[in-house]
Amino acid sequence: MILNTDSMKPIYVQIAEWLEGEILSENIKAEERIYSQYQLAEMFTINPATASKGLNILADQAIVYKKRGLGMFVSPNAKQFILSKRRGQILGQMIKELVMEANRLDVSESELNKMIENVRKENEEET
């Protein structure tokens, strides 16, 4: 992953989201040790304090937890929590924007549904 330094999104948020993606794709599994702030800092050439802020976001949400002297580990229900969170926040916002744009373009609900169905079919064929 390459961090987007031009983004309005802070780097520590990008780090947290990248780690969430690693958990969702099961590159890091439940109860596994997660990268330390120093490993993340080296990987992305950032300040360890910035990496720590990204890890703290996940700890505050109980996606990861600390084992004293051992580091941070992925919580048992982290993947389900991330899925739920992203469905509610990210997908909800995308749908809102999609519906607003469809309204501006005078796309009917049935036409929009058909477009979504077509994209889903294309995705299924690709996988």
Query: Domain holding 25: CATH number?
Result: 1.10.10.10
Q: How far apart are CA 52 and CA 97, in angstroms?
A: 32
The total number of structural domains that make up the chain: 2
In a domain, 105, yes or no: yes
Q: Tokens 């990987």 identify what position? A: 43
**Cβ–Cβ under 8 Å, residues 66 and 48:** no
Q: How far apart are CA 72 and CA 66, in angstroms?
A: 4
Residue 27 token pair: 């590159």
Look at residue 62 and tell me whether its pLDDT is greater than 70.
yes
64 with 32, same domain?
A: yes
pTM: 0.75
Instruction: For residue 125, name the pLDDT band (cuts at 50, 70, 90).
Output: confident
Per-residue pLDDT, 1: 65
Per-residue pLDDT, 126: 83
72 with 92, same domain?
A: no
Q: To the nearest whole percent, how much of the chain has pLDDT over 90? A: 83
17 with 66, same domain?
A: yes
Range of the domain at 105: 86-126
Q: Is 118 left (phi over 0), alpha (psi -120 to 50) or beta?
A: alpha
